[in-house]
Amino acid sequence: MAEGKDHNNILDEVTSGEYKYGFYTDIEMDTAPKGLTEDTIRFISAKKNEPEWMLEFRLKAFKYWLTIAEPNWAHLHHPPIDYQDIIYYAAPKKKPSLSSLDEVDPELLDTFNKLGISLEEQKVLAGVAVDAVIDSVSVKTTFTETLSKKGIIFCSFSEAVREHPELVKKHMGSVVPYRDNYFAALNSAVFSDGSFCYIPKGVRCPVELSTYFRINAANTGQFERTLIVADEGSYVSYLEGCTAPQRDENQLHAAIVEIVAEHNAEVKYSTVQNWYPGDKEGKGGIYNFVTKRGLCRGNHSKISWTQVETGSAITWKYPSCVLKGDNSIGEFYSVAVTNNYQQADTGSKMIHLGKNTKSTIISKGISAGHSNNSYRGMVRVAKKATNSRNFSQCDSLLLGDKCGAHTFPYITTGNESSIVEHEATTSKISEDQLFYCQQRGIDSEKAISLIVNGYAKEVLNKLPMEFAVEAQKLLAITLEGSVG
Amino acid sequence: MKETNSSVLESAILKKFSNLTLDHADDSDYMTQIRRQAFEAFKSGGLPRRTEEKWKNSKFDQVLENQMEFLTEKPEYNTEVSEIFHCSIHGFTTQVEAFLNGWYYTPNKNPLKVHDNGLIIGSIRAAQHQYPELFNLHFGKIAQHNQHGFSVVNMGLFQDGLFIYVPDGVFVEESIQLIKMVNAAKKLMINTRNLVILGKNSRLSLMHCDDSVNHQSSLINTVSEIFVGENATLDLYKLQNINDVTCLINSTSVWQSRNSRVKVNVITLNGGTIRNELNVDLQGEGAEADLNGIYLMDKKQQVDNQVFVNHAVPHCNSSELFKGILDEESTAIFNGYIHVNKDAQKTNAFQRNNNILMTPDAKVDTMPFLEIYADDVKCSHGATIGQLDNEAMFYLRQRGINEKDARLLLMYAFAAEVTDKIDITPLRVNIEDMVKKRLRGELSICEKCVLHCSTPDIPLEFEIDLSKI
Amino acid sequence: MLLDIKNLHVSINGKEILKAFNLTVNKGEVHAIMGPNGTGKSTLAAAITGREGYEITQGEIWFNGELINDMSPDERANKGIFLSFQYPVEIPGVSMTNFMRTALNAKREFNNQPPVSASDFLKKMEEMKNLVEIHSKLTNRSVNEGFSGGEKKKNEIFQMAMLEPTMAILDETDSGLDIDALKVVAKGVNALRADDNGFVVITHYQRLLDFIVPDFVHVMYDGSIVKSGGKELALELEANGYEWIKEAVAEK
């Protein structure tokens, strides 16, 4: 019956209107001056008491970034971004080093409560260890002790740089090098903080690790960096969720997520992205340029991405898997919803390098209002990746006649023993389905929410339970008022 | 294009362009102006490089450093076409219009014929003077959305081409066969341009055959513009069977008016580097386009099919089916692009590309794109890259067929989905035969083969499940 | 008077399908509407339920004393009009349980009632499933997806039982059913017949009327009712076909 109950909650949410996560937390900030120079990078590094090698890495990335141009191939249109008009570092002034929740700034706790994701509640009810990131610096890590008994390291990126430099040095940039792309170079130069996670050999992480990101200070770019390393035979499920307060000015977000899976390791990474999408006229909203990539380094390793994208004015994001180990598996499940003037260019890349590698891409795009929603995906099977297999399905659903749905798959196969299949459909909600629901007394808005959730079910089912509930709510809220 | 970066070919083209007024002294004013514009465009743009999205993985950049020559003067021909060229398609008659090295081959003919029913066929050079209204109305307009370096060069330097005008209500009974032969001792760059105009309620079946009769490496750059009037029907067959070193760009742009029907079959049997561009602009409600292609490549050949379908208005249907078999070190590129305009409601668009790789060295890039701005549409696309179905292979072998024959049979069945779409029966039989021969690679195994090509009355003894292939 | 249709004219894409159609259904009555293909039977069902694209150019549809011409389909449904579809549509990913619960609660909300409790809902589901002999677990099946023809029709009657309409229209519910399934469907309908509701049974064949015995039989031809009578009229049609009706109309 859980399903029916969740659904009712969604319907309640639908009627509640405005973007509900639009509040602002008043916390004193310690900020860098606007703009980006070598000095800014030295400032960030110094603020964080970083070792010399970290500063060098940042500076190398910065120098490279200066030499390259912003990519323009995506099906996205936005005014040029003034990179000198952005504050690259903002941190709560009270440097926290806390051992219990009681020590957390009560205002922050209140923020989480408003979001409905209070640490307390999560800790007790869901058994989830939360590494909460407000703006740029990690504020609180819970369950560290429980996890550390198993040898699991789950901490802020800054802490990892200090406490586990050998692990960071070994893996940082190994999956997403700073030269990878424009936004990866930018992130590598100025990243503020993020999460680090290491699962030792043979350990199955007993809880779902999660981070909540929020952009809080006005005019502050958010540059997260996450590194997850799953050693041989380990398993971890990682959740990332975002809700951002309402802002009029566009804000830039350029994150990096790197995942390394060694022999027989498995990593499940789930995201619900709900950054502020801008208002109904397309004013404001987050620019979200993210590089997410997993490396199946070992044989029989597996990396699985699941994402529900409902927010951001602009989304540029292609969670990818490099299947290097033989028999490794990559998966990508995505629901991307755009409404009003949102633009999304998102999809996945599956690079098959090892033998007998398998990948699956299931992408469900939903466009409404004046939005444009593009799937862009690449499947590449290298010559040596014999007997590899890919299946991609990319469906688009259109609501209204002012929006666009596009599909841009790039498929290359270089050997004869592999099989690659791509299927895609574009359709609207059929009038027959709508009428059927209406004839049963369900009004058109509820009917659409019902049908859309059904359409996206294949992907939503891949999310952990509590995330699936949130994701369903978001779908309904995002599509509010899209028919009529 | 900066002078310093010019390739050998670009320099040769620039030099050729500088001679425009001399080489094309007999052009109409309209034409002269168009050629000059192309010259300016070429000066700034040059030829495409593979760094450009639309030329990704294309082997065309290898011609950039080739020293090519142009045949500026129309040579004198004395022999009949039949004496120098035998078409391997037989069993039905066509009206043959031949071109040799890019020049209209008319030993004893007027360059422009007007038939009793008003049908006009002949050289495009003559048409620009004799039918300026028709010519100026369509020339350069239909292909204008597909501009790249090679098409710009074609616009500016085309030497000759075929002009066909089918008046309103005229059904052209006999297929017109356009044969383009290349036979020269030198490496030639050949630029030809065709203009085909179908009036209201008319019908035309056109075969566009590219053949080479020698082994010199040439660069053939052809642009065809086809206007299909209201409720008119066009069947277009593009047959390509050229040598392993020739590069061919065959760019066809079709403008479809209301309720018109266009069927295109692109059959690529052999060629060095082939790029087929097919642009179909559905500009009238109720128009239908059925686009099919089969390519069978081996050695180091490359075929690149760029298929663009623009749904500009509501209630149009389009379907694309391109299939290919890649042997040895051959490569194939498929880029299908369906664009549905925001007003083009009730659009049905379908696109599929299937590929079979026979060896570890063959390679396929497929990019089936959809760009959709209308909501009341049914669009689907699919692409596969794989190999012959193992289960089907086993089934055949269990019935006692050896591996080689079984493979052949399955390949043939794979190709048959496309060749079945050819409506003219003798042509289909011939093309099927050519496909079979092409797939076999040799004729000596004929007697043993289960396909009984030489004795078609003996039926095959078992059914093949096409859905598995 | 439950349903009162007066001089109804309905067009699709400018083409008139229903022409001066009149019908009155009182509480407790079952009306059968028969007639050859293409006479507008399904158009009638669509017009009563408010389907888009069916334009009422003239006339009135009254339901329970209210003019419903301009009401949305869901409003009509919540007021108690139910249509058993000739071709029930598939809705992938939407489970039957979720669908039914949403529909039931929409109606309860409409009537200012609190949502149904989970246990009551489940109990009712089980009860009504038994009524129409649905044995599969509907929880994990999407609406009509993968249902056989017979299952789809049973599912329509099941939904009718769940939603308890006052006016049910069965649009060729019998077509494509074998005799066993037909009996099950009829049993379901008969169990729901009551003094305070009415039925309009649109059918092609007299067969269904052996099991759902109508109070009135109407023959429809070319957009209006050309002959009305008791249940014996159906037998007459079965014996003589529709030709005599067509001829009679032609003579007029």
For the cut 70, the answer to whether the pLDDT of residue A109 exceeds it is no
Q: Which of C53, C72, C106 sits opposite A446 (nearest CB)?
A: C106
What is the model's pLDDT at position A123? 42
Are C and A close enough to touch, i.e. 3+ CB pairs under 8 angstroms? yes
Which tens digits make up the pLDDT trace of A242-282? 554 445 455 888 999 999 999 999 999 998 887 878 878 88
Gap between the Cα atoms of A140 and A99, Å rounded: 8
What is the model's pLDDT at position A360? 96
Q: Does A443 touch chain C (CB under 8 A)?
A: yes
Quick check: B373 and A399 CB within 8 A?
A: no
Quick check: B365 and A383 CB within 8 A?
A: no
Inter-chain contacts counted by CB atoms under 8 A, chains A and C: 98
Q: Which of B362, B375, B384 sits opposite A400 (nearest CB)?
A: B375
Domain residue ranges in chain A: 2-479
**Is the separation of the CB atoms in A322 and A295 below 8 Å?**
yes
Q: Does B467 touch chain A (CB under 8 A)?
A: no
What is the model's pLDDT at position A426? 87
**Is the separation of the CB atoms in B379 and B346 below 8 Å?**
no
Q: Which of A432, A443, A454 sits opposite C89 (nearest CB)?
A: A432
Inter-chain contacts counted by CB atoms under 8 A, chains A and B: 116
User: Which subunits count as partners of chain B given 3+ CB pairs below 8 Å?
Assistant: A
Using only C-alpha atoms, chain A has a radius of gyration, in whole angstroms, of: 22
Gap between the Cα atoms of B51 and A275, Å rounded: 35
Separation in Å, CA A299 to CA A121, A262, A418: 39, 7, 18
Three-state DSSP at B13 gives helix
The stretch B356-366 carries a mean pLDDT of 91
Query: Which residues partner with A336 through β-bridges?
Result: A309, A365
Q: Which of C91, C110, C115 sits opposite A8 (nearest CB)?
A: C115
Which tens digits make up the pLDDT trace of B18-62? 888 888 888 888 899 999 999 999 998 899 988 888 888 888 888
Q: What is the phi/psi pair of residue C14, to 5°?
A: 85, -5
What is the model's pLDDT at position B4? 54
Please list every residue in chain A whose beta carbon sits closer than 8 Å to the beta carbon of residue C86: none
Q: Does C86 touch chain A (CB under 8 A)?
A: no
For the cut 70, the answer to whether the pLDDT of residue A8 exceeds it is no
Please list every residue in chain C whose beta carbon sits closer than 8 Å to the beta carbon of residue A431: 52-53
Q: Which of B281-285, B287-291, B447-451, C157-161 has the lowest mean pLDDT?
A: B447-451
Which B residues in the span 114-173 are in contact with A, Cβ-Cβ below 8 Å?
none
Separation in Å, CA A261 to CA A307, A321, B58, C196: 19, 10, 35, 67
Q: Does C99 touch chain A (CB under 8 A)?
A: yes
What is the model's pLDDT at position C87? 86
Per residue, what are the HEC states of B6-18?
CCHHHHHHHHHHC
Quick check: A73 and B371 CB within 8 A?
A: no
Which tens digits make up the pLDDT trace of A317-364? 999 999 999 999 999 999 999 988 999 999 999 999 999 999 999 999
**Is the separation of the CB atoms in A54 and A169 below 8 Å?**
no
Q: Tell which residue, A395, A405, A315, A406, has the closest CA to residue A369.
A: A405
Which tens digits make up the pLDDT trace of C87-133? 888 887 788 888 888 889 889 999 999 999 888 998 999 999 888 88
Q: Which of A4, A431, A453 sits opposite C101 (nearest CB)?
A: A4
Domain C3-251, CATH: 3.40.50.300
For the cut 80, the answer to whether the pLDDT of residue A234 exceeds it is yes
Q: pLDDT-derived band of residue B459, with 50, 70 and 90 as boundaries?
A: very low
Which C residues in the span 146-175 are in contact with A, Cβ-Cβ below 8 Å?
159, 163
Identify the closest residue of chain A to B371 by CA–CA distance.
A406
The stretch B107-112 carries a mean pLDDT of 75
Q: What type of residue sits at position A41?
A: I
Identify the closest residue of chain B to A366 by CA–CA distance.
B375
Q: Which of A8, A438, A451 sits opposite C94 (nearest CB)?
A: A451
What is the model's pLDDT at position A10? 36
Quick check: C74 and A8 CB within 8 A?
A: no
Q: Does A419 touch chain B (CB under 8 A)?
A: yes
Q: Which of A246-260, B108-122, B361-375, C154-168 has the lowest mean pLDDT?
A: A246-260
Q: pLDDT-derived band of residue A102, with 50, 70 and 90 as boundaries?
A: low
Angle at C110 between CA C107 and CA C114, to 5 degrees: 80
Mutate to test the interface with A, among B328, B385, B391, B468 (most CBs of A within 10 A): B385
What is the model's pLDDT at position A290? 93
Identify the closest residue of chain A to B379 by CA–CA distance.
A426
The whole-chain average pLDDT of chain B stands at 84
Q: What percent of chain A has a predicted confidence (pLDDT) above 70?
A: 76
Q: Does B449 touch chain A (CB under 8 A)?
A: no
Identify the closest residue of chain C to A444 by CA–CA distance.
C74
Gap between the Cα atoms of A321 and A332, Å rounded: 9
Q: Which of A301-315, B229-243, C172-186 has the lowest mean pLDDT?
A: C172-186
For the cut 80, the answer to whether the pLDDT of residue A152 exceeds it is yes
The stretch A466-470 carries a mean pLDDT of 72
Please list every residue in chain A whose beta carbon sits closer than 8 Å to the beta carbon of residue C72: 438, 443-444
Gap between the Cα atoms of C5 and B74, Å rounded: 82
Identify the closest residue of chain A to B341 by CA–CA distance.
A404
Q: Which of A11, A440, A450 sits opposite C163 (nearest CB)?
A: A440
Mutate to test the interface with A, among B311, B373, B389, B391 (most CBs of A within 10 A): B373
Q: What letter would DSSP give residue A217?
A: S
SS3 content of chain A, % helix, strand, coil (to 5): 25, 35, 35
The stretch A218-243 carries a mean pLDDT of 81
Q: In Å, how far from its chain's centre is CA B455?
A: 31
Specify the residue for token string 């909600």: A429
For the cut 50, the answer to whether the pLDDT of residue A118 exceeds it is no
Separation in Å, CA A236 to CA A148, A228, A229, A230: 14, 9, 9, 7
Quick check: C72 and A438 CB within 8 A?
A: yes
Q: Does B174 touch chain A (CB under 8 A)?
A: no
Torsion of CA A277, A280, A284, A287, to 10 degrees: 30
Structure token pair of residue B79: 């022999």
Gap between the Cα atoms of B131 and B117, Å rounded: 17
Separation in Å, CA C66 to CA B118, C55, C70, C71, C75: 68, 19, 11, 10, 12
The stretch A108-122 carries a mean pLDDT of 47
Q: Tell which residue, A35, A120, A115, has the closest CA to residue A83.
A: A35
Q: In Å, how far from its chain's centre is CA B352?
A: 18
For the cut 60, the answer to whether the pLDDT of residue A235 exceeds it is yes
The H or E element spanning position B171 is none
Gap between the Cα atoms of B260 and B166, Å rounded: 14
Gap between the Cα atoms of C142 and C124, Å rounded: 19
Specify the residue for token string 């590194």: A227
Q: Which of B301-315, B449-463, C52-66 has the lowest mean pLDDT?
A: B449-463
Which tens digits make up the pLDDT trace of B184-234? 778 889 999 999 999 999 999 999 988 765 667 889 999 999 999 999 999
**Is the separation of the CB atoms in C152 and C142 below 8 Å?**
no
Structure token pair of residue B425: 């029966």
Q: Which of A4, A444, A451 sits opposite C118 (nearest CB)?
A: A4
Q: Does A383 touch chain B (CB under 8 A)?
A: yes
Q: How many other C-beta atoms are found inside a 10 Å radius of the C-beta of residue B282?
A: 32
The H or E element spanning position A394 is strand A389-399
For the cut 90, the answer to whether the pLDDT of residue B377 exceeds it is no
End-to-end CA distance of chain A: 31
The stretch B449-462 carries a mean pLDDT of 40
Torsion of CA A143, A145, A150, A154, to 10 degrees: 60
Mutate to test the interface with A, among C91, C167, C170 (most CBs of A within 10 A): C91
For the cut 60, the answer to whether the pLDDT of residue A115 exceeds it is no
The stretch A299-303 carries a mean pLDDT of 97
Burial zone of A432 (CB within 10 Å; 0-12 exposed, 13-18 middle, 19+ buried)? middle
Quick check: B360 and A407 CB within 8 A?
A: no
The whole-chain average pLDDT of chain C stands at 89
The stretch A215-226 carries a mean pLDDT of 61
Q: pLDDT-derived band of residue A113, with 50, 70 and 90 as boundaries?
A: low
Torsion of CA B344, B348, B349, B355, to 10 degrees: 180
Residue-by-residue DSSP string for B104-146: E--SSS-SEEE-TTS-EEEEHHHHHHH-HHHHHHHTTTTTTTS
Three-state DSSP at A193 gives strand
Q: How many other C-beta atoms are found inside a 10 Å radius of the C-beta of residue A179?
A: 15
Q: In Å, how far from its chain's centre is CA B404?
A: 31
Q: What percent of chain C has a predicted confidence (pLDDT) above 90?
A: 51
**Strand blocks (E) in B312-394:** 317-326, 331-340, 347-357, 363-372, 377-386
Q: How far is C65 from chain A (nearest CA, A)?
A: 20
Q: Tell which residue, A156, A129, A136, has the closest CA to residue A87.
A: A136
Describe the crossing of helices C118-131 and C96-110 by its angle, rounded to 10 degrees.
110
Q: What is the phi/psi pair of residue A232, to 5°?
A: -50, 130
Three-state DSSP at A413 gives strand
Quick check: C102 and A442 CB within 8 A?
A: yes
Q: A209-214 and A153-156: which strand pairing?
A: unpaired
Gap between the Cα atoms of C174 and C191, Å rounded: 17
What is the model's pLDDT at position C141? 83
Q: Does C93 touch chain A (CB under 8 A)?
A: yes
Q: What type of residue sits at position C183?
A: K
Please list every residue in chain A whose beta carbon sits closer than 8 Å to the beta carbon of residue B384: 419-422
Which A residues in the span 79-98 are in contact with B, Cβ-Cβ below 8 Å?
none
pTM of the prediction? 0.78
Using only C-alpha atoms, chain C has a radius of gyration, in whole angstroms, of: 18
The stretch B374-396 carries a mean pLDDT of 82
Q: How many other C-beta atoms are found inside a 10 Å radius of the C-beta of residue A153?
A: 19
Domain residue ranges in chain B: 388-469
What is the model's pLDDT at position A126? 32
Gap between the Cα atoms of A150 and A165, Å rounded: 20
Give Cβ neighbours of residue B315 (< 8 Å, ≥ 6 apart).
B285, B286, B345, B346, B347
Q: Does C125 touch chain A (CB under 8 A)?
A: no
Gap between the Cα atoms of A279 and A248, Å rounded: 8
Gap between the Cα atoms of B233 and B204, Å rounded: 6
Q: Which of B53-67, B292-306, C196-210 has the lowest mean pLDDT?
A: B53-67
Q: How far is A431 from chain C (nearest CA, A)?
A: 9
Q: Which of C51, C77, C142 sits opposite A441 (nearest CB)?
A: C77
What is the model's pLDDT at position C237? 83
Give Cβ neighbours of residue C250 (< 8 Å, ≥ 6 apart).
none
Which tens digits make up the pLDDT trace of C46-82? 999 988 889 999 999 999 999 999 998 889 999 999 9
Gap between the Cα atoms of A310 and A19, Å rounded: 12
Structure token pair of residue A73: 């191939």
Please list every residue in chain B whose beta carbon sits closer than 8 Å to the beta carbon of residue A429: none
Which tens digits make up the pLDDT trace of A50-98? 999 999 999 999 999 999 998 888 888 888 888 888 878 776 544 334 4
Q: pLDDT-derived band of residue C180, with 50, 70 and 90 as boundaries?
A: confident
Angle at B128 between CA B122 and CA B132, to 5 degrees: 120
What is the model's pLDDT at position B248? 92
What is the model's pLDDT at position A467? 73
Three-state DSSP at A460 gives helix
Q: How far is C104 from chain A (nearest CA, A)?
A: 8
Domain residue ranges in chain C: 3-251
For the cut 80, the answer to whether the pLDDT of residue A286 exceeds it is yes
Structure token pair of residue C51: 């389907």
Q: What is the phi/psi pair of residue B62, to 5°?
A: -70, -20
Structure token pair of residue A428: 């609207």
Q: Does C116 touch chain A (CB under 8 A)?
A: no
The H or E element spanning position A47 is helix A38-47
**Is the separation of the CB atoms in A362 and A334 below 8 Å?**
yes
Gap between the Cα atoms of A27 and C170, Å rounded: 64
For the cut 50, the answer to whether the pLDDT of residue B90 exceeds it is yes
Q: pLDDT-derived band of residue C199, with 50, 70 and 90 as boundaries?
A: very high
Helix ranges (H only) for A131-251 are 144-149, 157-163, 165-171, 182-190
Q: Does C105 touch chain A (CB under 8 A)?
A: yes
What is the model's pLDDT at position C250? 79
**Is the separation of the CB atoms in A371 and A341 below 8 Å?**
yes
Q: What type of residue sits at position A80?
A: P
Considering only residues A217 and B66, tell me which one the structure prediction assigns the higher pLDDT: B66
Q: Does B462 touch chain A (CB under 8 A)?
A: no
